[in-house]
Structure formats: C-alpha cells, structure tokens
Amino acid sequence: MERKLSARQIQMIALGGTIGVGLFMGSTATIKWTGPSVLLAYIIAGVFLYLIMRALGEMAYVDPDTGSFAKYATEYMHPIWGYLTAWSNIFQYIVVGMSEMIAIGGYFEFWWPHLPAWLPGVIAIVFLCLANLISVKMFGELEFWFALIKVVTIIFMIVIGAGIIFFGIGNGFHPIGISNLWEHGFFTGGFSGFVFALSIVLASYQGIELIGVTAGEAENPRETLVKAIHSTVYRILIFYVGAIFVILCIYPWNELGRVGSPFVETFAKIGITAAASIINVVVITAALSGTNSGIYSASRMSYTLAAQHQLPKTFMRLNRQGVPAYAVIAISVGIFLGLLLSALAPLFFKQSANAFVVIYSSSTLPGMIPWFVILISQIRFRREHRTQMAQHPFKMPLSPLSNYITLAFLLLTLIFMFLNPETRISICTGVIFLALMSVVYVIKFRPKKG
C-alpha cells in the first residue's frame, strides 16, 4: 500500500470517526441518566481513552503496519484474538455504515418528504465506494472535509453558547449564567445512573482507534502518529465537554427532552432562522463521514485477514493506486445489502424498526474489543522489545499499572451495561457474535497439532 495520509488528514480521520450524529442529535440521551455530572463522565472516559491511544501509539511507533491492533493481537496474544479483533472491526463498521445510510434517507426527507428513503443511501454508498477506490489520499481528503464541517459547527456552537451564557446575547442581554449545572441536581441518577451514563459515553468514543488502522498508509508514520494521538484526544475532549457544557448551562437538564436538538435550538436562539437546515446538513456529512471511515477501516481489516490466510487472497489484491479494491467493494456491498434489507423488512415484519435498533447497538461490545487487545498486547509488546523501549520517545505512561486500571474500568462499564435493561440486549448480541466467530476460528483456522 502507499503512504499518502498526512498528519492533517489522520487527525481529522480520528476526530471524524469519534464525533458523530450522537452528539448533534442524541446528546440528551446521555444526560437523562445522570444530569450535569455527564460532564465528568466525558472527562473520565476521555482520560482512559487517552491511555488506550498511548498504548497503541507505543506499539505503532515501533511497528506502523496496516491492521495494527489486529496484527498486534495475533503476535502478542494469540491468533484467535487477531481474528476476533479484525472481524469485530468489520462487523462494527458494516453495522454502523448500514445505520448511517438508513438515517441519511430520513435527513433528506426534511427537505423532500416524498423522496424514497432508500435512494440517498444508495447514491451515498456508490459515491463513497468510488472515492475509496480512487486512492487512499482521496479517502483522507474527503474525511478531512467531512470532519472539518462537524468541528466548525461545534466551535460555532460553543462560541454562540458562551455569548448567551456570559453576555445574554439572544436573551435580551441577560446572561443565563451557569447555575443550571447545579440548581436541578448534579448527580441526578445516583452512582448507578452515573455509571450507566459513563458506559454510554464510552461507547460514543468508539472509532478513535482508527488512527491505528491508518498506520500502514501514513506519511512519516512515526512522526504523524505521535502528533495525531497527542492532539486528537484533547481536541475530542474539548469539543464534547465544551458543547455539552453549553447545552447544560442554557437548558435545565430535566427540560432537554422537550427541546428537540439542542444545537438547533441554540442557533435559533440568536436569530439564525435556518438553524434546522444547517444542522441537517451537518448530520448528513456526519453520516457520510461515519460510513467513509467504516469502508476504509473494514476493508483494511479484510486485507489483514487475507494476509493471515483467513479470507480469500482476492481481498489482498491492490489496484494501481495501492488500494485493496476487492475489499472496499465487498464492504460497500455489505452496507448496501443491509440498506436493502432495512427497506424490505417493513413489508414482512411490523417490528423491523425495533429489530434494527438491536442490530445497531450490537456493535457496542465488538467495538470495544480493539481497546482490550491494545492494552493487553502492549504489556507483552514491552516485554519483547526491551532494547527498543530504552530509547522509545512515546511510552505508555505508568505502564503496566495504567493498563490494569484501564482494563478494570472497561470491564466495570461492560458489567453495568449488562445490568442496564436498555443496553443489556446490545451486550448479549455482541457476546453471541464473538462466540460464533470463535467457533468458526476453532473449526477452520486453529493450527493442527503434530
């Protein structure tokens, strides 16, 4: 493959993969569990995600290769973990891409109510598939601009919000202040509510590990990855925490359910009459960004599986631009088939919409598998590279203690997700998927003894 992804593009790829529709349209969902203390949940989750990214960065600095964490899992844990990690990534991004393409039809209905809901998704899949086939640089450039639109919108939201909170702009020049953070309670759901919210917040950060997948196609990979990891995590924290701080100050947390999208309402508050259309454009680009990243990441994991002889060699074939073309097409077709099934399902199953929610949420546990294998692989990686570690400039802080604490944190959130009725099904379906893939590995790929 060709190293054509710049530091500028990789930083935006990681931002774009993490800041999605959930922040713009669904930020009230995380707030309902614990009220304003959700700000602490975002900060705590962000600190642990930084440690995970540092563990990944330590390994990628020495061995920047396509497939990164799946490859590390194979080498430093066991081949079955590399297999499960790659398939978890593929499963996660096909499901997420499918959901984004279904959602995009709903976004276009805002302007054209009679447009067939499946049509925008089909056009978007074809467009993103072709863009990924042209070159990795084209993928990176598209993702840069998609992510930039989201970032600019969030910055604009934070600036406008600060004007309303501290100067009363849009509120008759009567500053709203920050008293809404505590006037109606801070830890409103108690300890269990806070941990429930923490698990949902943690899931919203999924996609940040995409930096690792880009390692094999990054320009000057050592310098690029170090710079990207350093800057990406604190930027994500600023955008998430800043935007939700503004929302919680302007609107009492217990009234957010009646507000609709807080972004739309905040823009409208200072007289931007096209606020709904602006946010609709942003969520469309967020959906395109999520699917674009998904096609890229899942196709590279397919390439890694083919290199391990766990998928046909066809998935390793590169076109003239150094892109695994068959893998890109296969992932795009997978997303298209999901879109097709979602369009046909209501004809046969009245509860198909609910079934789709279950399928979408089932990607939560597979999406966390890379984090577990990164933390465990890095401990064993350090033992096997003692001489290189002596001069390593980008070590994981306080390892291995920080690894064990982060692993305990991830396990705790999974336990609470199982205890929470609203997330229990997603954990169970994720467990079933991982169990099935483990059986497939044992039957087809386990090394024969003797």
Distance CA 86, CA 70 (A): 6
pLDDT at 260: 65
Give 309's contacts (C-beta < 8 A, 6+ positions apart): 445
CA 292 to chain centre: 12
Task: Report phi then psi at 404, rounded to 5.
Answer: -65, -40
Tokens describing residue 179: 């008293």
pLDDT at 437: 95
* Average of per-residue pLDDT across 358-382: 86
What count of other Cβ atoms lies within 10 Å of the Cβ of residue 277?
Answer: 13
Reported as a single tens digit per residue, the pLDDT across 122-163 is 999 999 999 999 988 888 888 889 888 888 888 888 898 899
Give 42's contacts (C-beta < 8 A, 6+ positions apart): 201, 237, 240, 241, 244
Q: For residue 126, which amino acid is it?
A: V
pLDDT at 450: 47
Reported as a single tens digit per residue, the pLDDT across 318-329 is 998 889 999 999
Q: How many Cα atoms are found within 13 Å in the side-chain-facing hemisphere of 260?
A: 10
Q: Which residues of 118-156 are buried (b: 16+ CB within 10 A; e: fewer)?
A: bebbbebbeebbebbbebbbbbbbbbbebbebbbebbee
Q: Are 4 and 217 in contact (CB under 8 A)?
A: yes
Query: Whose structure tokens read 């096209």?
Result: 274
End-to-end Cα separation, the chain, in angstroms: 36
pLDDT at 328: 95
Res. 349 pLDDT band, cuts 50 70 90: low
Give one DSSP letter per residue of 233-280, joined into a string: HHHHHHHHHHHHHHHHHHS-GGGGGGTS-HHHHHHHHTT-TTHHHHHH
Give 422's contacts (C-beta < 8 A, 6+ positions apart): none
Task: Report phi then psi at 150, rounded to 5.
Answer: -65, -45
Is residue 184 packed enough to be buried (19+ CB in 10 Å), middle (13-18) or exposed (0-12)? Answer: middle
Reported pTM: 0.86
Q: Are 340 and 332 in contact (CB under 8 A)?
A: no
pLDDT at 18 over 50: yes
**Average pLDDT value for the chain:** 84
Give one DSSP letter per residue of 222-239, joined into a string: HHHHHHHHHHHHHHHHHH
Give 64's contacts (C-beta < 8 A, 6+ positions apart): 215, 216, 218, 221, 222, 225
Higher pLDDT, 370 or 7: 370
Reported as a single tens digit per residue, the pLDDT across 423-433 is 788 888 889 99
CA 234 to chain centre: 16
CATH assignment of 7-443? 1.20.1740.10
Proportion of the chain above pLDDT 70, given as a percent: 90
Task: Please say whether the dihedral angle defined by the alpha carbons of residues 10, 15, 18 and 20, taken in this order, is positive or negative.
Answer: negative
